[in-house]
Amino acid sequence: MRQNKVKPSPRATLKNIALKAKVDPSTVSRVLSQNPNQRVSSKTKNKILEVAKGLDYQPNISARSLRVSKTFSIGIVVPQLDNPVFAEIIKGAERGASEKGYSLVISYLEDGPSKGEPYKKLIQSNRVDGLLVTTLNKNSAILRAAKKSTVPVVVLNRKVPGLINSVYFNSSQAAKIATKYLIAQGHKRIAHLSGQVNSSSGVGRFYGYKEALEHAMIPFNPNLVEVSGYSILGGSQATEKLLANPKAKPTAIFALTLNVAVGAMMALQKNGFSVPKDMSIVAIHDGPIASALHPPLTTVQMPSQKMGYEGAIGLINLIEKNQNKVLVELLPGDLIIRESVKNISKNK
């Protein structure tokens, strides 16, 4: 009933705009697709713009995609969603994509060695013009698949041999900053909760830690390094080991991740250690939890969100051939000094 009374406003297509503005659809396209070399008289241009606005025109992406063989969306492949680092990366990527008029298609997958299917489907059916790839695992199937991709790929959070395009974080420098700070506060027996061996970010932090020690002429003691991985539980277990080892006896801990630091703090508390009185602690990667911990944790900021943003922008530049290579090294952010480190230097 109601439909009969209301004059159904025509769908806003180029054709309908052309009809209303009494011009050809192609002219409308010339104006609305913002082609730089338009050559349309400002009179007709204004008229078209006006009509388009009145009809609240939004281009039909499918039609445009079909015509120009581009989807105007990029995909992002993430191994886990419950890791705050990836959440921030996605956040940044979404911002970058939408700034450039692209949408972000998400493909989640467990980071196993054999998978890679979602990725395949994503690019084969022309759903995306390019791909942002993150992974925790150096040898993951996605990385292998990425090397054969027909669309541009930008790897986030690490450098991968054979894939030029990446936006990564200088984690070794972040580790150096964190370790140096502990040294400056008088610490000499500094433990390191480290990542897996096959993780480039973990290895980077380990080297940064070692370099900072060397620079301060503090001998490296392997007893002070425990592999924790990236989880709270891992941090807690590694710390237990550390405390149980009579050859360790650290006065400070450098944790490679916020989660790991949380686990470490729990283990310390459980074993009767008070932070920072009995043990100082610093971690890489700032986040809301850091300031909510008790005591608030001193951290080196990690620009995860920026990583996603820069990755998206770079990828789109690649797609649009504005550049042919993306290689961005992001420097660590600031050292956020809170209350988890005690100054134990004698000449204080």
Partner DNA sequence: TTGAAAGCGCTAACAC
Partner DNA sequence: GTGTTAGCGCTTTCAA
Binding site for a copy of itself (CB under 8 A): 56, 58-63, 65-66, 71, 73, 81-82, 84, 87-88, 90-91, 94-95, 98, 103-108, 118, 121-122, 124-127, 231-233, 236, 262-263, 266-267, 269-270, 287-289, 291-294
DSSP label at residue 6: S
Considering only 54, 66, 197, 220, the residue that binds DNA (CB under 7 A) is 66
State the Cα–Cα distance between residues 187 and 48, nearest whole angstrom.
Answer: 70
The yes or no reply on residue 43 touching DNA (CB under 7 A) is: yes
Q: How far is the CB of 279 from a copy of itself (least distance, A)?
A: 15
Considering only 19, 59, 80, 149, the residue that binds DNA (CB under 7 A) is 59
Q: Select the binding partner of residue 15 from DNA, a copy of itself, none (C-beta < 5 to 8 A, by kind).
A: DNA
Complex with a copy of itself: residue 59 or 186, whichever CB lies closer = 59
The yes or no reply on residue 9 touching DNA (CB under 7 A) is: no
The angle at the Cα of 223, spanning 222 to 227, to the nearest 5 degrees, equals: 80
State the Cα–Cα distance between residues 16 and 22, nearest whole angstrom.
Answer: 10
Q: Tokens in use for 316?
A: 């789109």
Complex with DNA: residue 43 or 321, whichever CB lies closer = 43
For residue 142, count other CB atoms closer than 10 A to its CB: 26
The yes or no reply on residue 100 touching DNA (CB under 7 A) is: no
- What type of residue sits at position 33? S
Q: Tokens in use for 172?
A: 């070794």
Strand pairing partners for 154?
132
Which residues make Cβ contacts (< 8 Å) with residue 123, sequence separation at least 6? 75, 131, 149, 150, 151
Residues that bind DNA (CB under 7 A): 11, 13-15, 22-27, 29-30, 32-33, 35, 39-41, 43-45, 59-60, 63-64, 66-69
